[in-house]
Amino acid sequence: MTTDKKLADLRKSYEKGSLLEHELDLEPLQQFDAWFQEALKHEQYEANAMTVATVDENGRPSCRPVLVKSYDERGLVWYTNYLSRKSKALESNPYASLQFHWQALERVVRIEGRVCKVSEQESDEYFASRPLSHRIGAWASPQSQVISGREEIVANAAKYGLEFGLKPPRPPHWGGFRLEPDYWEFWQGRTSRLHDRIVYQLDGDGRWLKQRLAP
């Protein structure tokens, strides 16, 4: 077990980049795309992995990792089970926060906004593009529900594999969410913990206001 002193002594000096206002794009989506393309080149693992944080009807927060599957001027999209815990939280409170952490580049991006379901056509098109085992898995797993053991979902996968063969349809309880950003924060690690933090926020006229935050 790690002692308190050893844990307290864990630290890293961030020295791989800087983030200055004049270097940033006027639009946060374009800035995000530039960083995302760099992450695809440098990250050892999934650059599209992000944490989604939601709050349920009782004000209780929760977070979990998901994979962003598309982004454009409308927002960022991920896919999941609509009966899962995060989906139920979004039904009662349709706002969420996303976070990307690209450790290799010493960068973090935080995004906040309202969440809505994507169209059925978008969900159908993405579902059809998934590997067969993933499409079967969407039927096999009652996400966030208590199960008797791993054997249950393995048996479910076998059952639906036999039922649907090579062309499983999209489950009615499975599809995409889109977060429509009204807040972006770009964080670049710097030495001496004097990190760079630049935020974009929508003003009343629908324009992005760019500001620096103290680290």
Retrieve residue 21's tokens: 């206002």
Q: Is 66 annotated as belonging to a binding site?
A: yes
Residue 55 annotated as lining a ligand binding site: no
3-state secondary structure of 12: coil
Task: Out of 170, 178, 193, 212, pick the active-site residue.
Answer: 193
Strands 196-202 and 70-72: unpaired
Catalytic annotation present for 150 = no
Annotated ligand binding at 11? The verdict is no
Q: Is 170 annotated among the ligand-binding residues?
A: no
Judged on CB neighbours under 10 Å (0-12, 13-18, 19+), 143 is middle
- 197: annotated binding-site residue? yes
Tokens of 198: 């630049």
150 in a labelled binding site: no
Any residues with CB less than 8 A from the CB of 154 and at least 6 apart, and which?
140
Structure tokens at 177: 């969410």
Is 173 annotated among the ligand-binding residues?
no
Q: Catalytic residue positions?
A: 193
Could you tell me which residues are annotated as the binding site for FMN?
64-69, 79-80, 85-86, 143-144, 187, 197
Residue numbers in the known binding site are 64-69, 79-80, 85-86, 126, 130, 143-144, 187, 193-195, 197
- Which residue positions form the known binding site for substrate? 69, 126, 130, 193-195
